[in-house]
């Protein structure tokens, strides 16, 4: 039976989002880029709430890439401050909504104080059960694969793992994402048709949705549009 265009019945279990376009949003308004990041944080709140309401189980947000360290120092500092502010402000909100916070990436590269705020929020929300919100921070897909390879070699050298046993399933257990299912839907805002080093391994069979909307303008209504588009897709996973 063909699905209706307003179908919200197939809700992705895991949504991943490349939150792009904060700078362009600010530029359009003659504002500093950091203002775009600030309003972008409000989209984070709205989309987290929207996903929870729709019954999404996992939401992964690309907040800061390995490559974003190359941005001007002032912008990087502003992003870290904003992240700390978000963590301090939103922890209670996450508790009220029963949402568990997690993070993936080379977290030890973050400033000490940011790491402290992050770990505090992760610990506080650890037993929440309605949804898992995963922030990708200092995250790169290639870096994750390298870290996974190192972890595999470590297991083999320690005698915990036989080289002959290594397959895709085993390797997945050495990635940052070992506790989560692969994303069903990837959303990228601001129109760019690229992955920018996001979840290279995990997106193998994920459905892509690219919208022209800039991240600060991406709210619950736009989320519903993305899920409606997803509901129209026929996932074949290589079969017929």
Task: Answer yes or no: 128 catalytic.
Answer: no
Residues that bind Mg ion (CB under 5 A): 20
**Residue 88, SS3 per DSSP:** helix
Contacts of 232 (CB under 8 A, 6+ apart): 3, 5, 7
Minimum separation from the CB atom of position 169 to Mg ion (A): 34
Question: Among residues 20 and 222, whose Cβ is nearest to Mg ion?
Answer: 20
Q: Which is nearer to ligand IPE, 21 or 141 (CB)?
A: 21
From the list 223, 224, 213, 210, the residue with the least C-alpha distance to 21 is 213
Please give the residue ranges that form the binding site for ligand IPE (CB under 6 A). Answer: 18-24, 62-65, 68, 79, 190, 192, 194, 196, 215
Which of ligand IPE, Mg ion, none does 114 bind, CB closer than 5 to 8 A by kind?
none
CA-to-CA dists, residue 109 to 17, 194, 209, 228, angstroms = 22, 25, 30, 38
Give me the catalytic one of 6, 7, 20, 109.
20
Provide the total of helices (H) and of strands (E) in the chain, helices listed first.
Answer: 7, 6
Query: How far apart are CB 7 and ligand IPE at their closest, in Å?
Result: 28
| Among 138, 228, 237, 226, CA closest to 186 | 226
- Beta carbons of 117 and 88 less than 8 angstroms apart: yes
In the list ligand IPE, Mg ion, none, the entry touching 209 (Cβ below 5 to 8 angstroms by class) is: none
In whole angstroms, how close is the CB of 13 to Mg ion at the nearest point? 27
CB 114 within 8 A of CB 84: yes
- Closer to Mg ion by Cβ: residue 20 or 144: 20
Instruction: For helices 33-54 and 220-231, give the axis angle rounded to 10 degrees.
Output: 60
- Measured from the CB atom, the residue of 58 and 198 that comes closer to ligand IPE is 198
Least CB distance to Mg ion at residue 23 (A): 6
Q: Which position's Cβ is nearest ligand IPE?
A: 23
Of the two residues 88 and 194, which places its CB atom closer to Mg ion in the complex? 194
Q: Is-catalytic flag, 68?
A: yes
Q: How far is CA 180 from the centre of its chain?
A: 12
Residues 132, 57 contacting (CB under 8 angstroms): yes
> Cβ distance 226 to 213 under 8 Å?
no
- Residue 22 binds: one of ligand IPE, Mg ion, none (C-beta under 5 to 8 A by kind): ligand IPE
Out of 7, 68, 128, 147, which one is annotated catalytic?
A: 68
**Catalytic residue positions, numbered:** 20, 68
């Amino acid at each position: 039976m063909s699905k209706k265009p307003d179908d919200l019945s197939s809700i992705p279990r895991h949504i991943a989002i490349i939150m792009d376009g904060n700078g362009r949003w600010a530029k359009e308004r003659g504002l500093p880029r950091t203002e775009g990041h600030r309003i972008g944080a409000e989209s984070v709140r709205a989309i987290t709430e929207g996903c929870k309401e729709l019954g999404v189980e996992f939401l992964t947000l690309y907040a800061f890439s390995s490559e974003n360290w190359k941005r001007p120092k002032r912008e990087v500092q502003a992003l870290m401050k904003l992240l700390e502010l978000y963590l301090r402000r939103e922890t209670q909100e996450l508790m009220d909504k029963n949402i568990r916070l997690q993070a993936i990436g080379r977290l030890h590269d973050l400033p000490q104080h940011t790491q402290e705020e992050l770990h505090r929020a992760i610990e506080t929300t650890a037993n929440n059960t309605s949804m898992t919100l995963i922030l990708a921070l200092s995250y790169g897909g290639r870096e994750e694969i390298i870290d996974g390879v190192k972890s595999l070699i470590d297991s083999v050298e320690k005698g915990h793992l036989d080289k002959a046993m290594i397959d895709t399933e085993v390797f997945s257990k050495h990635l940052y994402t070992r506790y989560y299912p692969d994303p069903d839907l990837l959303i990228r805002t601001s129109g760019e048709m690229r992955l920018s080093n996001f979840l290279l391994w995990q997106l193998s069979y994920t459905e892509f949705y690219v919208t022209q909307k800039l991240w600060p303008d991406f709210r619950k209504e736009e989320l519903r549009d993305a899920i409606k588009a997803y509901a129209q897709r026929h996932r074949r996973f290589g079969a017929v």
